[in-house]
């Protein structure tokens, strides 16, 4: 019995460009596009001997969202008892043959499409040979010369409106290894194979990153794209997204230096710290007259430094060869087109639409689309039940400033918000109608957060409706002026005092007077 792909909608077996040299050993490409500045002096590292440029390439390992592993039916659920999610294939028992999980193939193609990448209709699984205690086969099934996804790109937004284009070299599928446990016994290490065989997408960038800030922003954007697609949950705490960071330094304009790879960095903050620490280390070595050895290193976040792990292996060290138990994976364009037709609206497209459709600033739109659930919530606030739009800017302000601020303060996710999108939309309507002021709206938001209810009914029941009766407002203004004649005289010479009068009137009306009406009438009364 030979391993074969599971049949399904044009799937026969995967496609590929020849593997190019490692990203960190290539010049920054023109493919990075005109949005990338040739040399940003603000991103150079300063030292006693001059400026240095950091060159960064990233290899992101993203766990594929799938209930079963890449070549077996074992569960991928997180948190099981050690070795409870292990099949005979995962444990490398003799005679066990791998069978490709088509869902993992679909997820890889969908990710490639989301990265605007070339989808290869034919690709090959290889054996990558190396020994490690938690790698029971003695090799990893991966892809080398013929990956499922070729070149693509990610557009990354940086502060102050700058955007860079980061090229994607390739995306390939591979098995994850198990986990060695060193804290279970005084003299022995234990092995947990629950992760063994879990499907990973390795996403390799070109060396288009030039600072720790860019690297953090790139990983954040890539994580967002994966979460929108539903191909990886991006949970770095569980190890479902981790990064190998390739770092080298050079004098601006000089050839690339020797790179070092920092393995398995599992937080975006640590990625930035690791890059800066490693770049400084390399600069120090070179300036002291030494040379950089190509090696694999680990980052110690406690000490804020990297340390040597092993010399860096080259491709020939792994003795790659096509896996004899797996046929080449092949599918047709119709299969790709069907998957493409099912893709959701992705962050860049959604951001552009929010800017035009709801008249949002680029910053506000970027904040809202950073997480798909946040974007969906905002759009539910901005759209009425009849399909017409509310004031987009007002909706964005309430979602970003009030809702997100309160959620962050209490450590809640958007799906745990006590205030629903319908409730917040109703609050925005009441402001737009002039039924409540901004101050009352904040009071109403607090009631909704703690007690719930219908915003319109709450306004009526609790007497929160804004006072718009000009007679009542005029009476309140006259009372304040009468009690403060000295300040009324001063206001004629110092018009800024009107703010004080507005505050007094609002206070006397319990914040219910229409602030605009108060301001206009006060100017008339005071002769300003």
pTM: 0.83
Domains of the chain: 23-313 (no CATH), 344-461 (no CATH), 470-526 (1.10.10.410)
Instruction: Say yes or no to pLDDT of 186 above 80.
Output: yes
* Centroid of chain to Cα 204: 17
DSSP state of 249: E
Confidence class for position 478, pLDDT limits 50, 70, 90: confident
CA distance 11 to 252: 48
Instruction: Say yes or no to pLDDT of 476 above 70.
Output: yes
* pLDDT confidence of residue 467: 67
* pLDDT confidence of residue 195: 95
- Mean pLDDT value of segment 112-133: 96
Instruction: Say yes or no to pLDDT of 510 above 90.
Output: no
CA distance 230 to 515: 46
List of residues 6+ apart from 419 with CB closer than 8 A = 403, 445, 448, 449
* pLDDT confidence of residue 38: 62
Instruction: Say yes or no to pLDDT of 220 above 90.
Output: yes
CA distance 204 to 233: 18
Q: How far is CA 415 from CA 150, 210, 371, in A?
A: 36, 36, 12
Beta bridge partners of 191: 180
**Radius of gyration of the chain, Cα coordinates, nearest whole angstrom:** 30
Kindly state the percentage of the chain with pLDDT values over 90.
71
Report how far apart the first and last C-alpha atoms of the chain are (Å, whole number).
Answer: 93
- Mean pLDDT value of segment 430-447: 91
Confidence class for position 521, pLDDT limits 50, 70, 90: confident
Instruction: Say yes or no to pLDDT of 109 above 90.
Output: yes
User: 271 near 216, Cβ under 8 Å?
Assistant: yes
Tokens 């989808």, located at residue: 119
Q: How far is CA 294 from CA 104, 129, 393, in A?
A: 33, 20, 51
Tokens 């026969």, located at residue: 12
Looking at per-residue pLDDT, the higher value among 152 and 435 belongs to: 152
């Amino acid at each position: 019995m030979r391993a074969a792909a599971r049949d399904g909608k044009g799937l026969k077996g995967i496609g590929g460009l020849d593997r190019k040299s490692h990203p960190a050993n290539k010049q920054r490409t023109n493919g990075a596009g005109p949005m990338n500045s040739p040399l940003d002096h603000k991103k150079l590292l300063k030292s006693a001997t001059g400026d240095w440029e950091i060159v960064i390439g990233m290899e992101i390992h993203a766990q594929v969202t799938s209930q079963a592993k890449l070549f077996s039916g074992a569960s991928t659920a997180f948190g099981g008892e050690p070795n409870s999610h292990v099949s005979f294939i995962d444990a490398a028992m003799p005679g066990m043959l791998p069978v490709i999980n088509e869902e993992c193939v679909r997820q890889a193609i969908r990710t490639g499409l989301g990265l605007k990448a070339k989808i290869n209709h034919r690709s090959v699984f290889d054996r990558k040979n190396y020994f490690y205690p938690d790698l029971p086969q003695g090799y990893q099934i991966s892809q080398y010369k013929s990956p499922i996804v070729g070149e693509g790109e990610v557009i990354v937004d940086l502060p102050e409106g700058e955007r860079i284009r980061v090229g994607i070299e390739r995306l390939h599928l591979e098995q994850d290894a198990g986990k060695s446990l060193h804290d279970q016994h005084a003299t022995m290490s234990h092995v947990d194979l629950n992760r063994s065989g879990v499907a990973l997408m390795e996403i390799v960038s070109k060396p288009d990153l030039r600072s720790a800030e860019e690297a953090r922003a790139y990983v954040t954007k890539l994580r967002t794209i994966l979460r929108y697609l539903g191909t990886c949950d991006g949970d770095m705490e569980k190890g479902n997204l981790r990064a190998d960071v390739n770092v080298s330094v050079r004098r601006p304009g000089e050839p690339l230096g020797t790179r070092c790879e920092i393995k398995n960095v599992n937080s975006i903050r640590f990625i930035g710290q690791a890059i800066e620490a490693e770049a400084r280390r390399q600069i120090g070595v070179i300036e002291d007259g030494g040379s950089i050895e190509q090696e694999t290193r680990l980052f110690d976040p406690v000490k804020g430094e990297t340390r040597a792990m092993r010399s860096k292996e080259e491709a020939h060290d792994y003795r790659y060869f096509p896996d004899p138990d797996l046929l080449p994976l092949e599918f047709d364009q119709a299969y790709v087109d069907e998957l493409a037709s099912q893709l959701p609206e992705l962050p860049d497209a959604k951001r552009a639409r929010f800017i035009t459709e709801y008249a949002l600033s680029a910053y506000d739109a970027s904040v809202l689309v950073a997480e798909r659930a946040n974007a969906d919530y905002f759009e539910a606030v901005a759209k009425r039940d009849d399909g017409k739009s509310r004031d987009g800017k007002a909706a964005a302000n309430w979602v970003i400033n009030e809702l997100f601020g309160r959620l962050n303060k209490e450590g809640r996710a958007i799906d745990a918000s006590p205030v629903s999108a319908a409730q917040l939309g109703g609050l925005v309507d009441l402001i737009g109608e002039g039924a409540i002021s901004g101050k009352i709206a904040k009071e109403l938001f607090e009631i909704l957060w703690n007690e719930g209810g219908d915003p319109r009914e709450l306004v009526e029941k609790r007497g929160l409706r804004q006072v718009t009766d000009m007679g009542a407002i005029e009476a309140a203004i006259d009372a304040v002026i009468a009690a403060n004649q000295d300040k009324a005289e001063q206001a004629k010479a110092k018009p800024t005092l009107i703010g004080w009068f507005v505050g007094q009137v609002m206070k006397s009306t319990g914040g219910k007077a229409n602030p605009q009406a108060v301001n206009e009438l006060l100017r008339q009364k005071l002769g300003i």
